[in-house]
Chain A
Amino acid sequence: MVSLMSMTQTQKILARHAHLETVRAGQLIMADLDLVLGNDITAPVAIREFAKFGKPRVFDRDKVALVPDHFTPNKDIKAAEQCACMRAFAADQQITNYFEVGRVGIEHALIPEKGLVTAGDCVIGADSHTCTYGALGAFSTGVGSTDMACGMATGQAWFKVPSAIRFVLEGQFGPHVSGKDLILHIIGLIGVDGALYQSMEFTGPGVAALTIDDRFTVANMAIEAGAKNGIFPVDETTLAYLREVGAREPVIAAADGDAAYEATYTINLGKLRPTVAFPHLPSNTRTIDEAGDVRIDQVVIGSCTNGRLSDLRAAAAILKGRSVAPHVRAIILPATQKIWLEAMEEGLFRIFVDAGCAVSTPTCGPCLGGHMGILAAGERAVATTNRNFVGRMGHVESEVYLASPVVAAASAVAGRLAGPAELDTL
């Protein structure tokens, strides 16, 4: 029997931040925030709204992060002016965590790497992929610019307490299968609104087999199922990562054993195959075995979903000693400066450049059709990014296929959508 007091992991974090003993699904609360985040697209609107709150200073200059990562290095004059607005605000407010070009990285890779989020935190960001930090056992969700402004002014946000869907993970991944395949499989299973307004709570013995990078990738795409947040339990892997990055002391919240879930799915990680989301929805998934013959023009390996060092290593393992097909442009975007340096020092850039890839400075760039790899009419890209909506990477008649770094790298070599196993038969 479900006790009235039982809560999900998410509900426990929200209750603590609302100074309540318990919360229940559907309840409206005001919650204290540990971090308020914005980027060069959303922060300028938030800065305009901030003035309407009548507060001269942000609530805590250490708990606001401003990350100019989308259209940087400035892609045009208008983008430069947006960044100038953000830079001036950061200077005026003496924001501790403002990251200039040269130090900046893609926000959802950079913020955890800098130790700015810990387990049990309550975080909002004016960017939909803020749900990434659920990998660390934090409640973290994307909001708009007005919410960000409110967060900066008051240190609080309003929430409707979500119900939850539980994903019980069992077993471990087979070869060439990773967190990206898991989350694409799940979105294919439940649909792009399958978790609308809800939490996605990942649990079960299979969690232990997931690296922290796998968890970042899975939590990152919870929004693509419509979820408010995705969250993982805190285990040794989490704690080791938090120690490594010097994060604040974690506050561990675990779901009650009898917490109520709207639905429970059990997923055997060992049965998953490399998975691809076909245009134009992340839920339009097929395994690589069902992909058919799809000739491609571009490959993008990077983004807040899959631009981490492990992603670059996985791509390099495929590309080593091979060449990108002559008709394909392959673009690699390490997500942060730290990742960029480590990849360089490991010799990954030599592998990429020898294979015929372009290596970029960190930027969101092509993921949202900003710059650094825009598609023409009729062109197709395999990308390790998170969205394949109409026109997402460029022309409305272009197409994006979402996949893991392994599949993206194999496709770059094959010149068509391909899994790594197919390279042996080329």
Chain B
Amino acid sequence: MKAQGTVFKYGDNVDTDVIIPARYLNTSDPAELARHCMEDIDKTFIQKVRPGDIIVAARNFGCGSSREHAPIAIKEAGVSCVIAATFARIFYRNSINIGLPILECPEAAAEISAGDTVAVDFATGKITNVTTGRSFQAEPFPPFMQKLIAAGGLPQYMSAQD
């Protein structure tokens, strides 16, 4: 599986309240959640984002509330991948569970800029900044998580175990 898109770049501690503010959590409809994705950190994100685009952020992306609405909104907005130096743990497991590809790579997070075109190969964990020609190696997923992602998410994985 591969992805390529334009980068939206953010800093440290992007919390799930700014990814999807609680005032919109009175629904669980993915399309409606996506309309407000990143609204409290980047009001123009949802107008600018195109299918396949990539979010790159620094440390502790997705901290705060456990709301799965956050990775759902990002995925539904068309984002193909989130790259960060580190992820908050609930956001990390939620993304794996719903099949939103995420990669931890501090070097890529530091050196990729907003607007760059970036390509990702999920099989190898290789991240290529097409704009600058630099490439980076993300931590590969442990085998268990690779199986979970390959199954298409936690429900499919657990059902296959029976």
Q: Is A53 in contact with B159, judged by CB distance below 8 angstroms?
A: yes
Residue B128 is within 8 A (CB to CB) of chain A in the complex: no
Residue A320 is within 8 A (CB to CB) of chain B in the complex: no
Given A193-B60, A196-B89, A391-B21, decide whether A150 and B68 contact each other with a Cβ distance below 8 A. Answer: no
Q: Is B17 in contact with A390, judged by CB distance below 8 angstroms?
A: yes
Q: Which of B22-30, B47-55, B117-125 contacts A (4 or more CB under 8 A)?
A: B22-30
What distance in Å separates the Cβ of A225 from its nearest Cβ neighbour in chain B? 10
Which of B17, B27, B86 has the most CB atoms of chain A within a 10 A radius of its CB? B17
Q: Is A42 in contact with B68, judged by CB distance below 8 angstroms?
A: yes
Q: Is B93 in contact with A389, judged by CB distance below 8 angstroms?
A: no
* Contact flags A359-372 to B (C-beta < 8 A → 1, else 0): 00000000011100
Partner of A128 from B13, B59, B65, B69 at Cβ < 8 Å: B65
Given A41-B25, A368-B22, decide whether A143 and B88 contact each other with a Cβ distance below 8 A. Answer: no
Residue B15 is within 8 A (CB to CB) of chain A in the complex: yes
With a cutoff of 8 Å between Cβ atoms, the chain B residues found around residue A192 in the complex are 13, 60, 63
CA distance A71 to B1 in the complex (A): 40
Q: Is B94 in contact with A369, judged by CB distance below 8 angstroms?
A: no
Q: Is A144 in contact with B94, judged by CB distance below 8 angstroms?
A: yes
Residue B67 is within 8 A (CB to CB) of chain A in the complex: yes
Q: Is B155 in contact with A226, judged by CB distance below 8 angstroms?
A: no
Q: Is A193 in contact with B63, judged by CB distance below 8 angstroms?
A: yes
With a cutoff of 8 Å between Cβ atoms, the chain B residues found around residue A70 in the complex are 25
Residue A149 is within 8 A (CB to CB) of chain B in the complex: yes
CA distance A128 to B67 in the complex (A): 8
The number of chain A residues touching the other chain, given as a range, is: 35 or more
CA distance A44 to B68 in the complex (A): 11
Residue A424 is within 8 A (CB to CB) of chain B in the complex: no
Given A82-B27, A387-B17, A389-B15, decide whether A143 and B90 contact each other with a Cβ distance below 8 A. Answer: yes
CA distance A130 to B65 in the complex (A): 11
Residue A228 is within 8 A (CB to CB) of chain B in the complex: yes
Which of B59, B94, B154 has the most CB atoms of chain A within a 10 A radius of its CB? B154
CA distance A192 to B68 in the complex (A): 20
CA distance A150 to B162 in the complex (A): 13
CA distance A52 to B151 in the complex (A): 13
Partner of A197 from B72, B89, B98 at Cβ < 8 Å: B89
Residue A5 is within 8 A (CB to CB) of chain B in the complex: no
Q: Is A143 in contact with B158, judged by CB distance below 8 angstroms?
A: no
With a cutoff of 8 Å between Cβ atoms, the chain A residues found around residue B71 in the complex are 144
Q: Is B67 in contact with A226, judged by CB distance below 8 angstroms?
A: no
Q: Is A368 in contact with B17, judged by CB distance below 8 angstroms?
A: yes
Q: Is A45 in contact with B68, judged by CB distance below 8 angstroms?
A: yes
Residue B140 is within 8 A (CB to CB) of chain A in the complex: no
With a cutoff of 8 Å between Cβ atoms, the chain B residues found around residue A49 in the complex are 155
CA distance A204 to B65 in the complex (A): 30
Q: Is B18 in contact with A391, judged by CB distance below 8 angstroms?
A: yes
Nearest A residue (CB) for B72: A45
CA distance A70 to B41 in the complex (A): 23
With a cutoff of 8 Å between Cβ atoms, the chain A residues found around residue B67 in the complex are 41-42, 144
Given A147-B154, A192-B13, A390-B40, decide whether A54 and B159 contact each other with a Cβ distance below 8 A. Answer: yes
> Can you report 28 A-B residue pairs in the complex whose CB atoms are below 8 A from each other?
A41-B69, A45-B69, A52-B159, A53-B158, A54-B159, A75-B26, A76-B26, A78-B26, A127-B66, A128-B65, A128-B66, A130-B66, A144-B67, A144-B68, A144-B90, A144-B97, A192-B63, A193-B59, A196-B60, A196-B88, A369-B21, A387-B15, A387-B65, A389-B18, A390-B18, A390-B40, A391-B17, A391-B40
Residues of B in contact with A (beta carbons under 8 Å apart): 13, 15, 17-18, 21-23, 25-28, 40-41, 59-60, 63-69, 71-72, 86, 88-90, 93-94, 97-98, 142, 144, 153-156, 158-159
